A and B are shown apart, each in its own frame.
Chain A
Amino acid sequence: MKLSKLVISICAVATISTASSNVFAAGETVPVKAMADALHLVMDSDRTIYTRKIVNRLVKKEKVIKASEHFDDDKALVLPAQMFRFGAELVQKRAKKLPDVNFSYSLQSLWPINKQNAPKTKAEKDGLKYVADNKGKNYYTEETLGGQKYFTAVYADTGVAPVCVSCHNKHKDTPKDDFKIGDVMGGVVIRIPIGG
């Protein structure tokens, strides 16, 4: 019995090792693109869960609390986009002390409610346009900012819930009021310093 379990385990490990190209040997570093993709997967999943299990559940289904841009004054939940930004700011603060994992990220849009979230650099402008025009594809490039070279990845941010779309369309500062569910409404930009 014990022997059969051991054989199964060995087979399972061997199968996983040979089937997956993402298993790295000890001491091997993760390619920068894979790291960016992994970071985005975590960010996007956390944000999706916050949107679905907290905001949409409590605001739309249970109807027990509001979500508001002015969450302090309105005693409300922070909006998913704000949650994302606060996380990005905390990472920015903490990652500075960890040079080996230094990276930054932000949520931007070609149609931003807060104009400070419009793309600024060429990579951001090209990337946001690319992911809006090419659904399902990401954009990768390199750029130099403030004398530092970065690997920059841009991922589409899609309106998944009715509340995302309706809130953006109705906001008094929105430059676009005809978003539909499934539309690319913006993008997540991740930067990882490269080249020393």
Chain B
Amino acid sequence: MSNMKNKNIWLTWLGLMAILIGYFAYTLTVSDDKTIFMPGDLTGGHHQIGVSCVSCHGESFSDEDSLQNSCIECHGEQREKPFDSHPREKFTDPRNADRLENINALYCVTCHVEHQPEIADETGLTQAKDFCVHCHENIADDRPSHEGMEFDTCASSGCHNYHNNRSLYTDFLVKHMDEEDILKKALLPEKELASVLDEIATYPHDRYPVTALTLKDIDAPAKVLVKTSQDIRHDWLTTAHANIGANCSSCHLDETKERESNSWIEKPDHKSCVKCHDTEVSHFMQGKHGMRLKQNLPAMTPFDARLPMKDDASHKILECNSCHQAHQYELDTASVESCLSCHDDKHSLAYKESSHYSLWKKEQSGELPKGSGVSCASCHMPRVAVDVSDWLRRTVVQHNQNVNLVPNDKMIRSTCLNCHGLEFSIDSLADESLISNNFNGKPTVHIESIDMARKENERHLKNVKDD
């Protein structure tokens, strides 16, 4: 009896083990969702793509170069452009071999770690606090103003950025130190895609010559046209698309398939947009909105976000057409209402009470000139100068909304300085309460970087005079 009981227990145990092993084996080899093997939760920076371990780790988990390549695949452009203060080559130079032993600056994970969200900041960034001191511990010898500063203050707002330390250098602080809070000429850059099409080598000029189209030029097949409403035709006709020769087939036709087969795309997605807007789509897929698409995962939804989102937006799909309504491509809607239809945090909710929104409304009504208003996109998807190739610099909308947020003083150059003085901008971005109420008021905190630069400059001018 006892033997039988033992046998049953053993059989039950073996059965359970077989189920368990089968489950893990299935998850490891077949299932798309492998999060059960994760050593710790992901930060807000990568949680969207957490189901796909290989997105970061590659097929081999032991290859550190493969992991590094994954970082560079998505973050490399941000790291190198507009300027890389600490290129990898600086550390592969043999003269810095001793520094490399102190801090392995060849790999992103030396300073930024994943699977430890408890040490990440609110943006999802994990960053070592002491990375500067390994090479710059004697900085006070060269910069007396830095005497006594703690090792973890280098990256404080308005100061140093390892990847692009040119953003707020001393001469720049001096050049802008006496600016008013609001500049006399306060205007944001205008869009310019249509004017530079000739220079964009990847633009499909052969298929879609730049020429204004009319309703009689519509090239959708007859079976599609019968279902196409007058509203859709009108929307298309009044956009830049019709104006520069982008016909129905530009977006709806899959040129890789035979024309008569299933080549007509009912609802085009980013794969159609990329044919003409490759820079924009590439940036979109580097940011939190589109990073899943880059990994061939289902599109992000507000439901999956960690930031507060509106309940009724939970199941929206984050594609190009989520913000840019198909056929209309109304930029004003994409710049404000599209954002506010999902985002439900304090900063977003306070926008319509802000002076930025007030200016935006005045621009919309024609009371103020183009570029006077400040939309959500003006700051979070600003129009910036981007080297889209080694040979061409364009003003493009930066569709990676994260690129100037971490740290937020990266927003100073790309956005704030178009309208505000540098000191006002630095202080505002360091003021948490001001960020929360969407910059409705003046900053109540002060960052001393300009004061320090002013003193250094005065000391230098005095030395020159004495000489």
What is A's interface to B at a CB cutoff of 8 Å? 69-70, 72-73, 88-90, 92-93, 96, 104, 106, 115-116, 120-121, 124, 145-148, 150, 170, 172-173, 177, 189, 191, 193
Contacts and interface: CB of A to CB of B under 8 A. Distances in A.
14 contacts: A72-B82, A72-B166, A73-B172, A92-B89, A92-B93, A93-B89, A96-B92, A115-B141, A121-B95, A145-B97, A146-B100, A147-B97, A148-B97, A189-B95
Interface of B: 82-83, 87-90, 92-98, 100-101, 135, 141-142, 166, 169, 171-172, 456-457, 460, 464, 467
B89 A89 contact: yes
Nearest to B135: A116
A93 B93 contact: no
Contacts of B89: 88-90, 92-93
When A and B form their complex, which 9 residue pairs have the shortest distance between CB atoms, in order from nearest? A146-B97, A92-B89, A172-B460, A89-B89, A145-B97, A145-B94, A93-B89, A115-B142, A104-B93
Nearest to A150: B94
A147 B464 CA distance: 46
A81 to B, nearest CB: 15
Contacts of A146: 94, 97-98, 100-101
A157 B464 CA distance: 26
Given A70-B172, A145-B98, A177-B467, 11 more contacts: A70-B169, A72-B83, A73-B172, A89-B87, A104-B92, A106-B95, A115-B142, A120-B96, A146-B94, A146-B97, A189-B95
Interface of A is mostly: mixed
Nearest to A92: B89
B88 A93 contact: yes
Contacts of A189: 95
Nearest to B385: A72
A124 B95 contact: yes
Nearest to B143: A173
A147 B172 CA distance: 41
Contacts of B96: 120
A77 B438 CA distance: 40
Contact of A92 (B82, B92, B460): B92
Given A93-B88, A172-B460, A177-B467, A145 B166 contact: no
A90 to B, nearest CB: 8
A173 B89 CA distance: 25
Nearest to B87: A89
Contacts of B166: 70, 72
A170 B460 CA distance: 10
A145 B88 contact: no
Given A70-B166, A70-B169, A170 B464 contact: yes
Contacts of A104: 92-95
Nearest to A91: B89
Nearest to A119: B95
Contacts of B83: 72
Contacts of B467: 177
A184 to B, nearest CB: 20
Nearest to B463: A172
Nearest to B413: A73
A110 to B, nearest CB: 15
B449 to A, nearest CB: 17
